[in-house]
Amino acid sequence: MSALLHVERLDAGYGARAILEQVSIDVAAGEIVTVVGHNGAGKSTLLRAIFNLIPFRAGVIELDGRDLLPFSPERLLETGIAYVPQGRSVFPRLTVAENLRLGGYVVTDASLLEARIARVETLFPVLTERSTQLAGTLSGGEQRMLEIARALLVEPKLVMLDEPSIGLAPRLVDAVFDTVRLLRERGIAVLMVEQNVRKALAASDRGYVMELGQIRLADRAGALSDDPRVARLYLGKR
């Protein structure tokens, strides 16, 4: 498989504290890949390390064969990787439209930005309806949609989502994973980390299980869901 994102033997941590150990993952173009694992396993650290947001990283990180290790987060955005961090990241006192426009700050051509906002709004009609509403007054699910919509304004090849379903009611969880599938239909690859193991794997092509900063299992998403070890550890079966 020729990977869009290729991560090989990645070590990463905060100062002297090593968290990730020899992590290797691949994401093909237009593929949905999920990393599951318990609290503190290092899932967020993995996405932060790829996006160059933590002090120590060593190993290989490539997009389309291009070495990403020296790239700043802004340069990574321009190269085609968007990142939606864990927890709410909308600006609550700005409107939906203002939040969207801020997401396109690296798009310097104003008419191009307007065209992209219009295109993203066709994907998320609810955001168009609420464009003048303050983002902080949107429901949790709508805020998540806004975060994902904002990430799309750079027309990324790969979107990294950190726990997109966390804190959402079941109906909204399904809507978020439907959105993830929609991205794949548009040819956008998704790397997400999730604790909602069953639903995340059901929406994914492939998955990895991370424990204590290491990849323990890697397989097709369906095979992982059926794996008795995954069922025992993550799906509450005995």
Residues found near Mg ion in the complex (CB under 5 A) = 43-44, 86
> Which part of the chain contacts ligand ATP (CB under 6 A), choosing from 12-20, 57-65, 90-98, 171-179?
12-20
Q: Pick one of 34, 42, 135, 205: the residue that binds ligand ATP (CB under 6 A).
A: 42
Stretch that binds ligand ATP, among 33-41, 91-99, 134-142, 227-235 (CB under 6 A): 33-41
Residue 37 binds to ligand ATP (criterion: CB under 6 A): yes
Task: Supply the minimum distance, in Å, between the C-beta of residue 110 and ligand ATP.
Answer: 37
Residue among 166 and 202 whose Cβ is closer to ligand ATP:
166
Q: Residue type at 210?
A: M
Instruction: Determine the interface stretch with ligand ATP among 36-44, 71-79, 169-177, 224-232 (rule: CB under 6 A).
Output: 36-44
Calpha distance 72→235 (Å, rounded): 37
Q: Tell me how far, at minimum, the Cβ of 213 lies from ligand ATP, in Å.
A: 7
Sequence-distant (6+) residues with CB within 8 A of 207 are 33, 34, 35, 36, 200, 201, 218, 219, 220, 221, 224
Cα–Cα dist 140/132, whole Å = 17
Interacting residues of 138 by C-beta distance below 8 A, sequence separation 6+: 90, 96, 130, 146
- The least CB distance from residue 51 to ligand ATP, in Å, is 13
Closest CA to 21 of 161, 170, 190, 216: 216
Number of H helices, E strands in the chain: 10, 10
Q: Which of 86, 89, 95, 133: binder of ligand ATP (CB under 6 A)? A: 86
